Chains A and B, each alone.
Chain A
Amino acid sequence: MSTVGSRALSVAKVDFLNVRRAKLVWGPVVLYTIFMFLFFWGQSNADSPDFYAVLWGLIGIGGVLVVPLIALVAAYLSIAGEVESGSITYSLGLPVSRGEFVAGKFLSRAGVVVVGIVVSFLLGILAGFVFVPGMEFEYGDYALFVAVTSLYGLAYVSVALAISAMTASRSRAMSGAIGFFFLFNIVWNFLPVGPVQMLEFLGDQFDVEFSDSFLELVFSLSPTGAYLNSSQLLIPDRFLQTVGGAASSPSDPFYIQGWFMLVIMAGWVVVPMLVGYWRFRTAQLG
Chain B
Amino acid sequence: MGAIETSGLTKRFGESVLAVDDLDLTVEEGEIFGFLGPNGAGKSTTINILLDFTQPTEGSASVLGKDCQRESRAIRERIGILPEGFGVYERLTAIEHLQHAISVKGTDEDPDALVDRVGLDADDARRPAGDYSTGMRQRLALAIALVGDPDLLMLDEPSSGLDPKGMQEIREIIREEADDGTTVFFSSHILPEVEAVCDRVGIMNEGQLATVDSLESLRDESGTAQVEFEVEAVPESLALDDIDGVRGVTVGDSRITVTCADPTVKIEVIRAVDRQATIRDVLSEETSLEELFNRYTGGAIQTESETGSGSGSDDGTEEVVA
A22-B91, A286-B48 known; A93+B81 contact, CB < 8 A = yes
Give min CB distance, B275 to chain A, whole Å: 61
B283 an interface residue at 8 Å Cβ cutoff? no
What's the Cα separation between A90 and B101 when bound, in Å?
9
The answer to whether B320 and A77 have CB atoms under 8 Å apart is yes
Q: Which residues of A contact B76 (CB under 8 A)?
A: 93-96
Q: Which residues of A contact B188 (CB under 8 A)?
A: none
A86-B314, A90-B87 known; A24+B321 contact, CB < 8 A = yes
What's the Cα separation between A15 and B103 when bound, in Å?
14
Q: Which residues of A contact B51 (CB under 8 A)?
A: 92-93, 286
Give min CB distance, B178 to chain A, whole Å: 20
B313 an interface residue at 8 Å Cβ cutoff? yes
Give min CB distance, B131 to chain A, whole Å: 13
A6-B103, A81-B321, A95-B74 known; A285+B54 contact, CB < 8 A = yes
Which of B53, B83, B97, B314 makes the CB contact (< 8 A) with A85? B314
B100 an interface residue at 8 Å Cβ cutoff? yes
Which of B72, B99, B321 makes the CB contact (< 8 A) with A77? B321
The answer to whether A19 and B86 have CB atoms under 8 Å apart is no
| Residue from B48, B318, B320 with most neighbouring chain A CB atoms (10 Å) | B320
What's the Cα separation between A25 and B321 when bound, in Å?
8
The answer to whether A286 and B44 have CB atoms under 8 Å apart is yes
The answer to whether A87 and B89 have CB atoms under 8 Å apart is yes
B144 an interface residue at 8 Å Cβ cutoff? yes
Q: How many residues of A contact B (CB 8 A)?
A: 41
A87-B89, A94-B76, A286-B44 known; A2+B321 contact, CB < 8 A = no
The answer to whether A93 and B322 have CB atoms under 8 Å apart is no
Q: Which residues of B contact A14 (CB under 8 A)?
A: 89, 92, 96-97, 99-100
Q: Which residues of B contact A285 (CB under 8 A)?
A: 48, 53-54
The answer to whether B54 and A284 have CB atoms under 8 Å apart is yes
Give the size range of B's interface with the partner.
Answer: 35 or more
What's the Cα separation between A96 and B106 when bound, in Å?
11
B280 an interface residue at 8 Å Cβ cutoff? no
For B45, the closest partner residue in chain A by CB is A286
B69-109, CB < 8 A from A:
72-74, 76-77, 81, 83, 85-92, 96-97, 99-101, 103-106
Q: Which residues of A contact B141 (CB under 8 A)?
A: 90
Q: Which residues of A contact B128 (CB under 8 A)?
A: 21
The answer to whether B322 and A81 have CB atoms under 8 Å apart is yes
Which of B53, B73, B103 makes the CB contact (< 8 A) with A10? B103
B305 an interface residue at 8 Å Cβ cutoff? no
For A81, the closest partner residue in chain B by CB is B322
| Residue from B55, B72, B77, B89 with most neighbouring chain A CB atoms (10 Å) | B89
The answer to whether B86 and A90 have CB atoms under 8 Å apart is yes
What's the Cα separation between A98 and B20 when bound, in Å?
24
Give min CB distance, A280 to chain B, whole Å: 12
The answer to whether A84 and B320 have CB atoms under 8 Å apart is yes
A4-46, CB < 8 A from B:
6-7, 10-11, 13-15, 17-19, 21-22, 24-25
What's the Cα separation between A108 and B273 when bound, in Å?
79
The answer to whether B322 and A17 have CB atoms under 8 Å apart is no
Give min CB distance, A27 to chain B, whole Å: 11
The answer to whether B73 and A95 have CB atoms under 8 Å apart is yes
The answer to whether A2 and B106 have CB atoms under 8 Å apart is yes
What's the Cα separation between A154 and B283 when bound, in Å?
76
A10-B104, A95-B77 known; A90+B89 contact, CB < 8 A = yes
A197 an interface residue at 8 Å Cβ cutoff? no
Q: Which residues of B contact A1 (CB under 8 A)?
A: 106
Q: Chain A interface (Cβ within 8 Å of chain B)?
A: 1-2, 6-7, 10-11, 13-15, 17-19, 21-22, 24-25, 73, 77-82, 84-90, 92-97, 170, 282, 284-286
Q: Chain B interface (Cβ within 8 Å of chain A)?
A: 44-45, 47-48, 51, 53-55, 72-74, 76-77, 81, 83, 85-92, 96-97, 99-101, 103-106, 128, 141, 144, 311, 313-314, 318-322
Q: What 9 pairs across the A-B complex have the smallest Cβ distances?
A: A81-B322, A86-B87, A286-B48, A87-B87, A2-B106, A89-B83, A77-B322, A14-B100, A95-B77
Interchain Cβ contacts under 8 Å between A and B, 8 examples: A14-B92, A14-B99, A79-B322, A90-B141, A93-B83, A94-B76, A95-B73, A96-B73
